[in-house]
A and B are shown apart, each in its own frame.
Chain A
Amino acid sequence: MLDFLQAASDGVLFGTTYALIGIGFTLVFGVMHKLNLAYAAASIGAAYSGLIILQAWTAAPAWAVFLAAFIAGGLIGWMVYLTCFHFIPLSHPLAPLMATVGMLLLIDEIIVHMTDGMPQNYPAVYDDVMLRIGEFMVRGDLLLVGAVSVLCMIGLLALLYRTRLGLATRAVSQQAVAAQLCGIRVGQVNAMTFVITGLVGGLAGALIGASVGALSPLLTAPLTVKGLIVTVIGGLGSIPGAIVAGLLVGGFENVFQLYRGVTERDLYVMLLLFAFLVFRPGGIFAPRGGRD
C-alpha cells in the first residue's frame, strides 16, 4: 500500500511538468484552433536560453536563469507565431501544423549545435529538500513546480476573464470573423496568445530542467507526446483540465510502472487515452457546446 501511495504521489508530482506543457498546448488550441507542435521544443529551447546568462554571470542565482528562460520563452513564442502562423492563410489548416513540425526539428538542431548534444547541468531550487513522513517521501522541488502551475493557471484565468486582452482573446476564439468585425485585431490577439504561452513555456522549460537536473534535446519528444495526451484528456482549450489531466497521467503512469514495468508503462497511458476517447471524448472538462 505504501508502495502504491508513494508511486502515485511521485507520479502525480512529476505530472506537474506535463501539466505545465499541457497548458500551453491547450491555450493555443483553445484560441486559434491550431496545433503548435513546436511548443515543447520551444519551451526546452527557452530553458536552454536561460543558461546563456550563466556565461556572462557565472554566479547567477537560479531565479535569474529562470527569469531569462521566461523572457526567452516569450520571444521564441512570438518567433514561432511569425514563422509558422502569421503568413500562412487560414484556408490551409495543415500548412501551419507542418511548419511547426519543421520548427520543432529546427529548434532541436539549434540546441544540438550549441551544446554538441551534451546534457547540460541545470540550476535547481529546493532539489535538496525532501519532505519525509516515515518512509514516505515528497520531493520539495516538484511541490514548487506544482505551485507554479497552479499560479500559472490562476494568472491565465485572470488574464482571460478579467482583462480586455482576455475578452478579445475569448472573442477571437469563439468567432474570429465576428471579433474582427467588432474591431478586434485578430492577428495581434493571436500573436499575444503565442507570447503568453511562450512565457509560460519558458518557465515550464526552466522548471522541468531544474526538476530533471539536466537539459537535453531528448526531452522534447516525450514532452510533446505527453503534452498532447494531457491536452486531449483534460479537454481541448481547458486550462484547469490540462492541470488535472497532467497530474492524472503522471500518477497513472508511475503506478503502472510500479506494477507492470517500464516497458509496458506507456502502453497503459495509451489505453487510458483510448478509454477517454471512447467514454468521454470531450475530456475531463469538456467545453460546453464548443465548436470543433
Chain B
Amino acid sequence: MAGPGTRLSQAVFRAATSRLPARLPPFDFCLPERLLPFGFCLPERLLPLDSLFAVVPISRLPDLHCPIYSKEEAEVKTVALAVGLALAASSSAYAQERTIKIAGFGAKSGVVRSFGINSEAAMLAAADVINRQGGVKLADGSRARIAIDYYDDRCNAEEGIAVTRRMFGTDALVAVGPTCSNVAEPLFGILQKRVGDAGDSGLQMPIFTDVAIKVGLAKISEWAFRNVPNENTMYNSLFYWLKTKHPDIKTVYGGVEEDFAHSRATWYSVMKERAEASGFQVLGNSKWLLNDTNFATQVREMRKANADVVAISAHPFTTCGVLKEMQRQGVKPKVLVGLTSSSSLETLEGCAKQAEGMIIPTSFAPVTKEATAAAQMTAKFKGAADLHSMAAWENMFILKDVIEAAGISGRPGDVQADRRKIRDGLAKLSETKGLLGVTKRDREGEADKPYLFVHANKGQWRVLHNPL
C-alpha cells in the first residue's frame, strides 16, 4: 500500500485534471470528499506546481480542515481550465500570506434555512471576488486575503449568543448577521452599549447585520450596524407613487402576521402610517398568526372592506395562504402590496399564480451591471440573490473599504484593537456604495438604501418602477 503522501499527491493530480469542486476558491484547493476524507484542503503554500507532485506527509499539513467551503462539486468542462486555475492560484499565492477573518452567521436550519444559505453564498462569492482582485490592504502595506467562517444560529436567541461568543473567541474581526430579528435583539443586548464605557461588560465586537430587518434595532448598541433597507422610506415612496400613478385609488386594507416581530412592526408603524401620510384612507386590517392555515374569516373581513389596495405584511407561507383564500373568495383589489421579505423565491415557489401582480419595494434587483454580476457570482456558490443576501454581499465590500481605510494590522495580537478600528470606521461612514447606488447611513448605525419596486410577473419578480 502506498503511503498517505503518495495517495495525497495522486489525489491532487486527479483533482486538477479531472474534476474540480464547484466552489473552487482561488487560493485554497479543496478536494472533493470522495478523494480525501473530511474534505481536506491544501493550504496555498503547498500548491505551486513544483510541490504539486511532492510527497507531503499528512502530518505536515497545517489547518487541513476546511469548514469554509461546502463540498458540493460540479463538472468543470475542460482540463485546460482546471489547470489554468491551479496555475493562477499558485502564482498569486506567494504574494498573499495573511488572512483577515470575517465571520458570518444566520439561520441554516428551520423554515428560514434559505436565508442562511443565500447569505453565506453571497459572502463567499464576495470574498472570492475581493481575493481575486488581490485581497485587502493592511496597515503595513501588505495584502491579506479574506476568509469566511459561517455559523448556524438556528434562529434561536441562546444559540445566537453562543455563536457570537464563539466568534468573539476566534480571530474574526467583524461579524455579518444574523437572519432573525429575535436573534439580533438579544445579541445586540449583550454587546457593549456605549463604546469605551468601562463599566459596561458587554462584548466588544462589531456586528454588521445583513438580514434582520425589524425597525430600530441598531440603536441598542454602538457596536451594532445594519445594512438593511429602511422600510419607512420604501413604503412611503411606494404609497406616494401609487397615489400619483393611480389617482382613482383611495382606500387601503391591511393584513398582518401578528405574532412575528418584523411583519407586525412593519404594518403598524410603517405601512399603515405611510399609507395615511400619502393620503390613503386605511379601512382596517385583518390579523393572523405565523403558522395559521385557515384564513377564511380574515379574507371575508377583507372582502367586506372592499378596499382598492390590499397590503399584506406577512412572510411567504401565510402570504401564500391568504392569497389563495382571496382567490377562492374572489377578492380582487386593484393593487396588491407585499412585505419586503416576501420578494423572494419562496413566495414564487409557494404561489406564483396567486401572487401575480403583487408589488413589493425591495433593495435589490439585478438592474445594474454590478448587481447582475453579484447575482451571477452568488449563483456560482449555490445561493439566490435577493434583498437579504445582496446586503451580505455589499457588507463585504463595505468592510473591505473600512478595513483599508482604518489601517488594520491583522496580527493575532491586535484582534481587539482591530475590531475597535473597524467599529469606528463603520460608525464614521455616512455613505456607502451599494449595488443599486449610494446608501446613506445614520448615526444610529442604520442604512437608508436605494430601492425599487418589483412585481410578480409570470412566475418572476420583475422591476415595475425605479424611483431613483
Contact = CB atoms under 8 A, between A and B. Distances in A.
Q: When A and B assemble into the complex, do they touch directly, with CB atoms less than 8 Å apart?
A: yes
A195 B114 CA distance: 33
A208 B294 CA distance: 11
Interface in A201-216: 208, 211-214, 216
A263 B258 contact: yes
Given A117-B112, A217-B111, A258 B349 contact: no
Contacts of B259: 263
A112 B321 contact: no
Nearest to B347: A119
A257 B330 CA distance: 22
Nearest to A109: B109
B114 A116 contact: yes
Given A117-B110, A262-B287, A213 B351 contact: yes
Contacts of A118: 114, 316, 345-346, 349-350
Interface string B337-355: 0000000011001111000
A127 B354 CA distance: 13
A181 B297 CA distance: 55
A221 B293 CA distance: 12
B114 A218 contact: no
Contact of A10 (B114, B291, B294, B324): B294
Bin the interface of chain B by size. Answer: 35 or more
Given A119-B350, A130-B328, A213 B294 contact: no
B423 to A, nearest CB: 33
Given A117-B113, A130-B329, A219-B291, A214 B320 contact: yes
Contacts of A130: 328-330
A147 interface: no
Given A127-B328, A213-B324, A214-B321, A117 B297 contact: no
Contact of B296 (A10, A120, A213, A221): A10
Interface string B318-334: 00110010001110000
Nearest to B293: A212
Contact of B349 (A108, A113, A119, A263): A119
A222 B289 CA distance: 11
A137 B329 contact: yes
A10 B328 CA distance: 13
Contacts of A261: 287
Nearest to A6: B300
Quick one: which of A113, A118, A128, A217 has the most chain B CB within 10 A? A118
Interface residues of A, number: 39
Contacts of A14: 293-294, 296
A124 B30 CA distance: 45
A263 B111 contact: no
B109 A112 contact: yes
Quick one: which of A17, A119, A208, A212 has the most chain B CB within 10 A? A119
A139 interface: yes
A143 to B, nearest CB: 13
A7 interface: yes
A254 interface: yes
B97 interface: no
Contacts of A213: 320-321, 324, 350-351
B111 A112 contact: yes
A164 to B, nearest CB: 39
Interface in B274-304: 287-294, 296-298, 300
B108 to A, nearest CB: 9
B317 interface: yes
B354 to A, nearest CB: 8
A121 interface: yes
B117 interface: yes
A262 B296 CA distance: 12
Contact of B324 (A6, A127, A254, A258): A127
Given A116-B117, A118-B349, A258 B297 contact: yes
A1 B346 CA distance: 39
Interface in A1-56: 6-7, 10-11, 14, 17
Interface string B105-124: 00001111110010000000
A221 to B, nearest CB: 6
A118 B347 CA distance: 8
B346 A119 contact: yes
Quick one: which of B117, B287, B289, B294 has the most chain A CB within 10 A? B294
A261 B350 CA distance: 27
B297 A218 contact: no
A250 B292 CA distance: 12
Contacts of B293: 14, 17, 208, 211-212, 219, 222
Interface string A248-260: 0010001001100
6 contacts: A121-B351, A127-B324, A214-B321, A217-B110, A218-B317, A262-B298
